Structure 1
Amino acid sequence: MSSDYRYSYNSVYSQSETAIKPVVDRILRFGKLSPQDHALLTSVVFNGNDISEAERRQINRIFDQIQTGQLKLIDW
């Protein structure tokens, strides 16, 4: 895994500590999804966090690409 791809999560459960767009942009740019990425995105969607429709569409785009095999799952 490239060093550019590595980063840390402070909390996957707090919307205030996450930035959806940069995470989605990085996933799409590298074409890779880690378990931490998945945990972050699913926690934002399923924990009742207040996210915009645009953010929800970005997250759904990632999940669609997983289903179609367009994203490589790493470190699973």
Structure 2
Amino acid sequence: MLTTTTSNPMQLETVLEHIFAIRRITRHDQHLLMSTLLSKEDLNEEERLQISRVFDALRRGLIKVVD
């Protein structure tokens, strides 16, 4: 049986705020982020910018990946 995650903009915003607040991304955060993004049919421009900020912060070492 497949379960789907319903996504709303607030859920994505909450996950991203948490990641930036603690400056870390855990496996759980990654799972929440990916399931939220994959459950959406299309991303708007602001959501694309937020995701780019996460990748940029990871690349620059501003966010650490932890288990």
Q: TM-score, normalised by structure 2?
A: 0.69
Query: How does 1:1-76 map onto structure 2 within 5 Å?
Result: 14-16=6-8, 19-43=11-35, 44=37, 47=38, 49=40, 50-75=42-67
Gap regions ≥5 residues in structure 2: none
Q: Which structure is higher in helix share? A: 2
Q: TM-score, normalised by structure 1?
A: 0.62
Identity across matched positions, percent = 29
2:15, 2:32 within 8 Å by CA — same for their partners in 1? no
Aligned length: 63
Taking CA–CA contacts closer than 8 Å with sequence separation of 6 or more, which of the two structures ends up with the larger relative contact order?
A: 2
RMSD over aligned CA atoms reads 2.6
Gap regions ≥5 residues in structure 1: 1-10
